[in-house]
């Protein structure tokens, strides 16, 4: 199946889709507003269907890849939702401690794309763990729309605590060395928040994530590698003030804004994926983690 690109759609439709996936529009509102851009058989409904993720297209590391070992692990979040669950991957053979990376999902829970990112890190000689914020309601349901609804109904404070405890769980594993975090969209926000909350978080990589409150920035001890899309107004509008706060508090950071990209450009399951930006940003991410976590 041929992968569609963002350029296959009117820019207005991509903006509507961004609103849809972030809860600003419901399905009916998206269809009504996108209808004016329909051409022939490419109706609003057909556009929405083609914008949904195709996880088979995106798998880079097979679940049974012999280079790694994977398993689902449970952990406790006593001040959050109680018993939690996540996806763990590590190289098949470990000698001593390895850098550990927490992987935080978007606003849909631990879907196959995020599990694949966890496996990608394991093939790069990290131990990685992706907690599932939807674990208290049965985990990722296999449907993106249903996942978003479950996510939106959650208590945000408990959810943040659950993911924080996921970081604690990973940090305490005997094979885990220095700790880093990478997250996408909502997960990018959590990466920023974890950096304000965890003085032992060494490196944090938020992808197109909302920023931490400026008042919390003085608490950041981690080095940050920040990835933004050029066409992502809702997230990027908070960057100037955040950068000012980072500079004022002498936080170590590097920021990249990738030209001609949309929010979600790393997610290779949807047409918002940008191959060049995704590969470059991931190369930079691995180099950053190697530099910060292996020294």
Tens-place pLDDT, residues 255-282: 999 999 999 999 999 999 999 999 999 9
Assess whether 136 and 35 both reside in one domain.
Answer: no
Assess whether 158 and 173 both reside in one domain.
Answer: yes
Assess whether 206 and 236 both reside in one domain.
Answer: yes
Assess whether 38 and 77 both reside in one domain.
Answer: no
Mean pLDDT across the chain, nearest whole number? 95
- Residue 157 in tokens: 């404070």
Assess whether 139 and 274 both reside in one domain.
Answer: yes
Q: Where are the beta strands (DSSP E) in the chain?
A: 68-77, 82-91, 98-104, 127-131, 176-184, 201-207, 223-231, 253-262
Whether the per-residue pLDDT at 93 is higher than 90: the answer is yes
Which stretch of 50-59, 90-99, 138-147, 277-286 has the lowest confidence by average pLDDT? 50-59
The backbone region for 31, taken as left when phi is positive above 0, alpha when psi lies in -120 to 50, beta otherwise, is alpha
- Residue 115 in tokens: 């599990």
Tens-place pLDDT, residues 32-75: 999 999 988 889 999 999 998 888 877 899 999 999 999 999 99
Residue 274: which CATH number?
3.40.50.1820
| Total count of domains within the chain | 2
In a domain, residue 248? The reply is yes
In a domain, residue 282? The reply is yes
Whether the per-residue pLDDT at 89 is higher than 90: the answer is yes
Closest alpha carbon to 227 in 249, 196, 259, 252: 259
Assess whether 155 and 284 both reside in one domain.
Answer: yes
Whether the per-residue pLDDT at 3 is higher than 80: the answer is no
Assess whether 118 and 21 both reside in one domain.
Answer: no
In a domain, residue 225? The reply is yes
To which H or E segment does residue 19 belong?
Answer: helix 11-21
Assess whether 12 and 131 both reside in one domain.
Answer: no
Domain of residue 44, residue span: 6-51
In a domain, residue 1? The reply is no
Helix axes 186-197, 156-171, angle to 10 degrees: 70
Q: What CA–CA distance (Å, rounded) separates 87 from 151?
A: 18
pTM equals 0.95
Assess whether 40 and 155 both reside in one domain.
Answer: no
């Amino acid at each position: 199946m041929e992968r569609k690109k963002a350029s296959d759609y009117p820019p207005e439709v991509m903006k509507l889709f961004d609103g849809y996936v972030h809860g600003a529009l419901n399905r009916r509102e998206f269809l009504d507003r996108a209808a004016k851009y329909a051409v022939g058989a490419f109706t609003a409904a057909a556009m929405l269907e083609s914008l949904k993720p195709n996880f088979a297209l995106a798998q880079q590391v097979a679940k049974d890849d012999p280079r790694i070992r994977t398993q689902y692990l449970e952990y406790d979040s006593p001040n959050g939702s109680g018993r939690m669950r996540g996806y763990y991957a590590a190289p098949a053979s470990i000698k001593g401690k390895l850098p550990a990376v927490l992987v935080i999902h978007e606003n849909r829970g631990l879907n196959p794309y995020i599990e694949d990112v966890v496996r990608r890190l394991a093939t790069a000689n990290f131990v990685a763990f992706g907690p599932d914020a939807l674990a208290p309601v049965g985990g990722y349901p296999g449907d993106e729309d249903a996942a978003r609804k479950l996510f939106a109904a959650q208590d945000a404070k408990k959810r943040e605590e659950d993911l924080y405890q996921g970081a604690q769980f990973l940090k305490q594993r005997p094979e885990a060395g220095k700790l880093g975090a990478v997250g996408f969209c909502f997960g990018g926000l959590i990466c920023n928040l974890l950096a304000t909350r965890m003085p032992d978080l060494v490196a944090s990589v938020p992808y197109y994530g909302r920023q931490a409150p400026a008042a919390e920035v003085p608490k950041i001890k981690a080095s940050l590698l920040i990835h933004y899309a050029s066409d992502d107004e809702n997230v990027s509008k908070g960057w100037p003030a955040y950068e000012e706060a980072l500079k004022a508090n002498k936080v170590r950071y590097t920021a990249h804004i990738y030209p001609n990209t949309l929010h979600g450009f790393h997610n290779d399951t949807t047409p918002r994926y940008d191959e060049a930006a995704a590969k470059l940003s991931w190369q930079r991410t691995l180099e950053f983690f190697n530099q910060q976590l292996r020294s």
